[in-house]
A and B are shown apart, each in its own frame.
Chain A
């Protein structure tokens, strides 16, 4: 059992964590790290596990989201990573599904050779170089939306007459 004393709340979370829960947290962290292309970075792994335990201890997941413990942990991992990405990139909207996924893409591209793995979820330090690397790798699926209507033509009226009127 890791040292997870949450001093601010006056009790030790670790005391309540069962072996099954520990395994679930570790599995969840591993899956999330794998989804960011981080296979074996102890620091990143520990940071995410800590974040998950923090979230559980702080009871930060909304009650209506508590479909299962796995969902709670996934939500906590998502929020922790999105928060960190927001800090790194300076963008506010990192929590949305599309923007989060796009940043995940960018991180995976930038981290192909694992150079940014150790910085994952690192809340301290200067991340401008990482932000630059992410911005270079950001995909842009579509240009800006410029909505307009394409009216259906009819076979009864002359377009010229309508135009003239």
Chain B
């Protein structure tokens, strides 16, 4: 602790800390011992059972491979199962996951003493959505009376000229409408090196030192004022805390796909958060947004290294959040996940294709973490977080290999002729051993570990006081449909994740695009095109399974069904109409939909108001609108173009004047918008802008 003393709020003495919000709890070691012990024991039992089932008539090499893959996958399931069980107990007993005392709301003793900033790194995002989220959070914060303790900062890395200009105008409008000049700031990086982490690094090196803590938002984040103030209060009173993560609830989407995920995250998410918080304690992870960070600690110890080698496994670190948490822990700071911090929201991709696109990006980032797992200096739990991140994708090819090896093993077994008299000179035959009961036990055991915590979470909601907010008794049907849907979706994700992992390992990279944040549907043809390989694999695999053994085919049928039905599943689950119909039937209802909090109502209202502020041709705006022009000039960094750039800019202006805006490429627009040039309306004076 002594090493951290220099980072503490120097102006706050030890006695001024509020003891009721101290983040500490008993038996950290025992908690982990229990969780890992139970997981290992369950995995060992399952592995023994599997060996017993397959090895009844002697274990073949392929069966050994099956057992190996099964064991690895089961360990993964087991850890998640016990995390869920612990979470359920904590939720059932209404206990705080950290202190293990009765859950109580945070009661602040006095106003905030710290200066905080809410930072929103954006890259080609819809400015209306970004600023609607900012404004909803700002308005909520204003109601707490703690507005003075916070600033907001939009950190733009946008490369699209039209979005760039729209962001500037949206910022100015927000400042004017909220009377928040000097409270809401905006800056755009001329060069977006190192993507989001580079964006934050640049902020840290320029303005962050003005603040004690920063709350990091994603482009689609919304937080209640209470949540933000509580997070800052927790930071103030826990001087060894480097990061405090709130569990963001997905909300706001209307497609069936998103509503199913929103529902299960709302029902089962708190269970998993409580379980995670229970055993992670001060070694929790950072999820990249909706978290508060101690600025000084972050600046001192979270400058990310550049990995040796080329991307995708080398180069700049893509998924920065886990690594930042690991560096925080390495330097002695604590990272907390506070499950009971409510009023923290994010949005999900609206359909399976966009979900997969996001996963492809995350996969590349998480796979890089495989290299950090063995890097010196990190805490064991940080390594475990890296491992869990890697496994969240690698478990898919492992599962696929398990199924494929099972198919091959079954095929081999059908080719073998059973020998009743394997030895010589014996009068007693060796009867085949029937292990169908053990197989059934193993199946129930595995499926139980996969779905039991989720089912109990659903039942808890159904029996709880708040069941009306989840659709009353319909929550049971929602749970049932979600289970069926997730079972069908799982094989699709298995195939996609396997493809992603293979793609990363063979050196393929993905770009960096903004997430789809509208309720976009997937046309059937597009779904068919995306999943055509998966369908073929499903059909061929099914044919082989039928050829091998009909019983084995039925065993595989849930997986094959998911693969073959993938385009229909993707298409219909992306439907807005079905999503809304399900809502009318109270299916997949969440408390946010039942009785929307003020912040989300505010978000909807502001988004509707900002519809007029659609992203238009940014350059044309500057020509037509003197205010936009002046604002843009004012926000440019003060620098002068070199001779070559000056000539290039001159040529582009000439092209603009003679051929019109349509003739300019995106890069040309970016170039002329990037320098402090004369206002465009003067340059174009007396000329025909459209070149008509």
Which A residues form the contact surface with B (CB < 8 A)? 27-28, 30-32, 34-37, 74, 96-98, 100-102, 104-105, 108-109, 138-160, 163-164
Q: Which residue of B lies closest to A97 (CB)?
A: B676
Q: Indicate if the CB atoms of B376 and A156 lie closer than 8 Å.
A: yes
Instruction: State how many angstroms separate the Cβ of A51 from the closest Cβ of chain B.
Output: 15
Q: Indicate if the CB atoms of B305 and A159 lie closer than 8 Å.
A: no
Q: Which residue of A lies closest to B377 (CB)?
A: A158
Q: Indicate if the CB atoms of A151 and B377 lie closer than 8 Å.
A: no
> Which of chain B's residues have a CB closer than 8 A to the CB of A102?
630, 634
Task: Decide if B306 is an interface residue (CB 8 Å cutoff).
Answer: yes
Q: Indicate if the CB atoms of B302 and A153 lie closer than 8 Å.
A: yes
Contact of B681 among A35, A96, A98 (CB under 8 A): A35
For the complex, give the distance between the alpha carbons of A141 and B634 in Å: 9
> Which of chain B's residues have a CB closer than 8 A to the CB of A143?
151, 182, 185, 207, 210
Contact of A139 among B175, B204, B375 (CB under 8 A): B175
What are the interface flags for B1-28 relative to A under an 8 Å C-beta threshold, 1 for contact and 0 otherwise?
A: 0010000000000000000000000000
Q: Indicate if the CB atoms of B372 and A151 lie closer than 8 Å.
A: no
Give B95-143 interface residues, CB cut-off 8 Å to A. none
Q: Indicate if the CB atoms of A154 and B682 lie closer than 8 Å.
A: no
Q: Indicate if the CB atoms of A148 and B209 lie closer than 8 Å.
A: yes
For the complex, give the distance between the alpha carbons of A120 and B686 in Å: 23
For the complex, give the distance between the alpha carbons of A140 and B498 in Å: 49
> Which of chain A's residues have a CB closer than 8 A to the CB of B630?
35, 101-102, 104-105, 108
> Which of chain A's residues have a CB closer than 8 A to the CB of B185?
140-143
Task: Decide if B629 is an interface residue (CB 8 Å cutoff).
Answer: yes
> Which of chain B's residues have a CB closer than 8 A to the CB of A152?
303-306
Give B294-331 interface residues, CB cut-off 8 Å to A. 299-307, 327, 330-331
For the complex, give the distance between the alpha carbons of A27 and B687 in Å: 11
For the complex, give the distance between the alpha carbons of A148 and B185 in Å: 19
> Which of chain A's residues have a CB closer than 8 A to the CB of B182?
140, 143
> Which of chain A's residues have a CB closer than 8 A to the CB of B171?
141
Instruction: State how many angstroms separate the Cβ of B197 from the closest Cβ of chain A.
Output: 10
Contact of B187 among A141, A154, A156 (CB under 8 A): A141
Q: Indicate if the CB atoms of B175 and A151 lie closer than 8 Å.
A: no
Most buried by A among B3, B300, B636: B300
Contact of A97 among B209, B210, B377, B633 (CB under 8 A): B633
> Which of chain B's residues have a CB closer than 8 A to the CB of A100?
633
Contact of B301 among A101, A142, A159 (CB under 8 A): A159
Q: Which residue of B lies closest to A161 (CB)?
A: B377
Q: Indicate if the CB atoms of B679 and A35 lie closer than 8 Å.
A: yes
Q: Indicate if the CB atoms of A28 and B375 lie closer than 8 Å.
A: no
Q: Indicate if the CB atoms of B631 and A101 lie closer than 8 Å.
A: yes
Q: Indicate if the CB atoms of B682 and A155 lie closer than 8 Å.
A: no
Task: Decide if B287 is an interface residue (CB 8 Å cutoff).
Answer: no
What are the interface flags for B146-173 relative to A under an 8 Å C-beta threshold, 1 for contact and 0 otherwise?
A: 0000010000000000000000000110
For the complex, give the distance between the alpha carbons of A96 and B636 in Å: 12
What are the interface flags for B616-638 relative to A under an 8 Å C-beta threshold, 1 for contact and 0 otherwise?
A: 00000000001101111111101
Q: Which residue of A lies closest to B633 (CB)?
A: A101
> Which of chain B's residues have a CB closer than 8 A to the CB of A34?
626, 681
> Which of chain A's residues have a CB closer than 8 A to the CB of B175?
139
What are the interface flags for B179-204 relative to A under an 8 Å C-beta threshold, 1 for contact and 0 otherwise?
A: 00110011100000000000001001
> Which of chain B's residues have a CB closer than 8 A to the CB of A28?
682, 685
Q: Indicate if the CB atoms of B627 and A159 lie closer than 8 Å.
A: no
> Which of chain B's residues have a CB closer than 8 A to the CB of A142?
185-187, 206-207
Q: Indicate if the CB atoms of B151 and A163 lie closer than 8 Å.
A: no
Q: Indicate if the CB atoms of B634 and A101 lie closer than 8 Å.
A: yes
> Which of chain A's residues have a CB closer than 8 A to the CB of B186?
141-142
> Which of chain B's residues have a CB closer than 8 A to the CB of A148?
204-205, 208-209, 299
Give B573-618 interface residues, CB cut-off 8 Å to A. none
> Which of chain A's residues have a CB closer than 8 A to the CB of B304?
152-153
Task: Decide if B678 is an interface residue (CB 8 Å cutoff).
Answer: yes
